[in-house]
């Protein structure tokens, strides 16, 4: 969505990692999560490697809450080099791993894992981007994007929240990229399409790092220079506000544009009362008969 072609001075990337334990690839083999996380950390560091001014945030998204994994709030960890790795990269790796452990430990034991709060995590990411933008020195050209790495399937339950964050992102000129590890995600794909980001469903989890580096590493200005996977067809069905089901044809409130699968006399969103009872097409027929 960014209209300027000139390469930016700095690029801000917020990665949202879905750590929900009920994702299929984790329930099948919990060890795969470590591999995926390593790939994400490697990718995050590659992003920081591109330019000295690039910035990074990582958000862990669980079923009970979302939390910043990097940068950690408060004082950063005191990291000393242990091997030849660049100090900053060691810091990123250590912080993410430590904070992720805390996040997983904090999950309520009695509850059954629910759905990942992805929309909330995207909202957090947008807030972070807004904060960084506000604090950045004037005259600095900065591009921002969000990458969602998830293996959950999308449900229409968060439909409204999704649409709100997608359109906010579009307005803020923030790209949303989605890397799906498991199923096809039609809702998130809509978000990519709205904000001008890329959507990729990886065929296999082996070599996840390579997929990430190839497709999602290029910055906005570099993307049109490289040959990258195309948009494909996007499923633009909306979900109804009453049962959160995806529809092709439905009822729309004329005031607030809420979508319903069944007719109701009062809009549940804006409480508008519809005076005409019964389906609309009947009325003109009656008028014609009178004339």
CB 270, min distance to other proteins, A: 33
Q: Is there binding between residue 5 and other proteins (CB under 8 A)? A: no
Footprint of other proteins on 195-254 (CB under 8 A): 209-210, 213-214, 217-219, 221-222, 224-227
- Of the ranges 50-58, 154-162, 192-200, 243-251, which one interacts with other proteins (CB under 8 A)? 50-58
Nearer residue to other proteins within complex by CB, 203 or 277: 203
CB 86, min distance to other proteins, A: 5
CB 32, min distance to other proteins, A: 19
Q: Is there binding between residue 51 and other proteins (CB under 8 A)? A: yes
Nearer residue to other proteins within complex by CB, 155 or 210: 210
CA gap 56, 89 in Å, rounded: 11
Footprint of other proteins on 130-189 (CB under 8 A): 136-140
Local structure of 25: helix, strand or coil: helix
Pattern 69-98, binding to other proteins, x per CB under 8 A?
-----------xxxxxxxxxxx--x-----
How many chain residues are in contact with other proteins, going by CB under 8 A? 42
Closest to 196 in 3D by CA, of 225, 161, 223, 236: 223
CB 115, min distance to other proteins, A: 33
Burial of residue 64 (CB within 10 Å: 0-12, 13-18, 19+) is middle
Nearer residue to other proteins within complex by CB, 46 or 186: 46
Q: In the block, which residue shows the tokens 């109701």?
A: 264
CA gap 255, 202 in Å, rounded: 41
Q: Is there binding between residue 274 and other proteins (CB under 8 A)? A: no
Q: Which residues pair with 68 in a beta bridge?
A: 59
Closest to 155 in 3D by CA, of 82, 225, 246, 231: 246
Nearer residue to other proteins within complex by CB, 63 or 211: 211
Q: Which long-range contacts (CB under 8 A, 24 or more apart) does 135-139 make?
A: 136/10
CB 200, min distance to other proteins, A: 16
Q: How far is CA 156 from CA 39, 80, 176, 221, 267, in A?
A: 29, 46, 18, 33, 19
Q: How far is CA 149 from CA 52, 213, 286, in A?
A: 24, 13, 55
Q: What is the DSSP letter of 215?
A: I
**Residue 140 φ/ψ region, left for φ over 0, alpha for ψ in the -120 to 50 degree band, beta for the rest:** beta
CB 43, min distance to other proteins, A: 10
CB 117, min distance to other proteins, A: 31
Instruction: List contacts with other proteins (CB under 8 A).
Output: 4, 7, 9-10, 42, 45-46, 49-53, 80-90, 93, 136-140, 209-210, 213-214, 217-219, 221-222, 224-227
């Amino acid at each position: 969505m960014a209209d300027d072609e000139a390469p930016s001075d700095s690029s801000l990337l917020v990665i949202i990692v879905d750590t929900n334990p009920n994702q299929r690839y984790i329930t099948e083999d919990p060890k795969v999560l470590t591999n995926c996380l390593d790939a994400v950390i490697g990718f995050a560091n590659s992003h920081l490697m591109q330019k000295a001014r690039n910035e990074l945030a990582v958000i862990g998204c669980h079923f009970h809450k979302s939390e910043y994994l990097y940068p950690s709030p408060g004082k950063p960890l005191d990291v000393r080099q242990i091997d030849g790795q660049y100090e900053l990269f060691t810091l990123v790796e250590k912080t993410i791993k430590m904070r992720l452990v805390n996040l997983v430990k904090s999950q309520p034991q009695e509850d059954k894992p629910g759905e990942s709060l992805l929309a909330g995590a995207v909202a957090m990411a947008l807030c972070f981007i807004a904060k960084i933008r506000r604090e950045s020195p004037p005259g600095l050209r900065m591009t921002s994007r969000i990458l969602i790495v998830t293996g959950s399937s999308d449900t229409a339950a968060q439909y409204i929240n999704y649409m709100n964050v997608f359109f906010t992102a579009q307005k803020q000129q923030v790209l949303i990229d989605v890397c799906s590890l498991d199923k096809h995600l039609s809702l998130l794909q809509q978000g990519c399409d709205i904000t001008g980001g890329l959507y990729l469903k990886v065929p296999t989890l082996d070599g996840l790092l390579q997929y990430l580096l190839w497709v999602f590493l290029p910055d906005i200005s570099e993307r049109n220079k490289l040959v990258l996977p195309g948009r494909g067809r996007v499923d633009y069905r909306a979900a109804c506000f009453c049962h959160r089901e995806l529809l092709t044809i439905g009822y729309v409130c004329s005031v607030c544009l809420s979508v319903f699968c069944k007719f109701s006399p009062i809009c549940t969103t804006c409480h508008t009362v519809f005076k005409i009872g019964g389906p609309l097409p009947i009325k003109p027929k009656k008028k014609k008969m009178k004339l």
